[in-house]
Amino acid sequence: MTDAAAPVRLDLTGDIADLTRALCDIPSVSGDEQVIADAIEAALRGYPHLEVIRDGHCVIARTHLGRAERVVLAGHIDTVPIAGNLPTRTVDGVIHGRGTVDMKGGVAVALALAAGVPEPTRDVTYVFYDCEEIEAVRNGLGRLSRTRPELLRADFAVLGEPTSAVVEGGCQGTMRIEVTTTGTAAHSARSWMGSNAIHHAGQVLDVLNRYAAQQIEVDGLVYREGLNAVGISGGIAGNVIPDRCSVLVNYRFAPDKTLEQAEAHLRDLFAGFEITVTDASPAARPGLNAPVAAGFVAAVGGTPGPKYGWTDVALFSTLGVPAVNFGPGDPSLAHKDDERCPVSDLTTCLDALRRYLLA
């Protein structure tokens, strides 16, 4: 019998690059976040100015200083699957490895602030949560919003999602649907007696190939939409004409649309086909005209842009909490095998958020 592995110890007050690497080197693919959650909880419990709460694999730490405002700094601790890109390595001031961009760099910044800013001018709730990279029903932040909504009450929220250290407002919505074609099964040696559902799927692909994705301006930011096939399945054997085929389609839509409007658009596009919505998360408008958001932008500097992709700013929007994305790393590198984050992005975000919390 071997001894249990020693718990991982995190130094929250040391070098931000070292903390980022330490977090990334703890594998935490969605659904397997216990070790990293344990390490984060243990590290935060060493600071008496923080109340620390554990809820499943979510770790919440908050100040209670009686300030006039409360801000949430949130980040997910899970990653997409590892692709031979751990352990991390640093080359010429850039940290390479899974999670460096999406989004353990942002988590490292929040942890450093939690430890290093004991008396912010705003009360702060730090939220580190699980299962963001998979289906919405398992999202840890979503679970908190349903079971412990008091933990997310705030005047403003910042998601540490990768933005190359500039503010990104709102986010796209996302919806996945299965578009199913049907036919008649038959032996492939007598194919004329059947009707091939996979061949009929060409009509679905024709719709996608003809589709012109829009660019839509919302509150001064331009969002690029997208409609793409991301999977296809059909057939039961190599000698059977298939009677069903399903094309999985992902729609990324601008925040001018509700979920209901997005679904109606897809049903119009694929009229006549069997459609099943398999997953959906709403978009969020930028909300940069809210005074708390404008104050944040002024404090951290830079010119805001739109967030391409979905983030949990949408969840905060449904809770009535203005929220923005602001974190280290180029978002176009998220989920890529060569994921990498400049150390300069980490220090820029850390310095900017420290200024904001002490302003």
CA distance 297 to 3: 50
Rounded to whole angstroms, the Cα distance separating 157 from 292 reads 9
**Exposure b/e, 292-327, CB count within 10 A at least 16 = b:** bbeebbeebeeebbbbebbbbbbbbbeeebbbbbbb
Write the burial class of residue 157 (CB in 10 Å: 0-12 exposed, 13-18 middle, 19+ buried). Answer: buried
Which residues are identified as catalytic? 78, 132
Number of neighbours of residue 152 by Cβ within 10 angstroms: 19
Question: Residue 182 corresponds to which tokens in the numbers above?
Answer: 């049907």
Spatial separation of the C-alpha atoms in residues 205 and 164, rounded to whole Å:
35
DSSP type of residue 102 = I
The number of beta carbons lying within 10 Å of the beta carbon of residue 271 is: 9
Instruction: Please report where in the chains the tokens 């300030």 appear, as a residue.
Output: 67
Residue 354 in tokens: 């420290």
CA 89 to each of CA 23, 78, 104, 226, 261: distance values in angstroms, whole numbers, following the listed order: 13, 19, 14, 34, 45
Q: Which two tokens stand for residue 337?
A: 């095998």
| Cα–Cα distance, 296 to 69 (Å, whole number) | 13
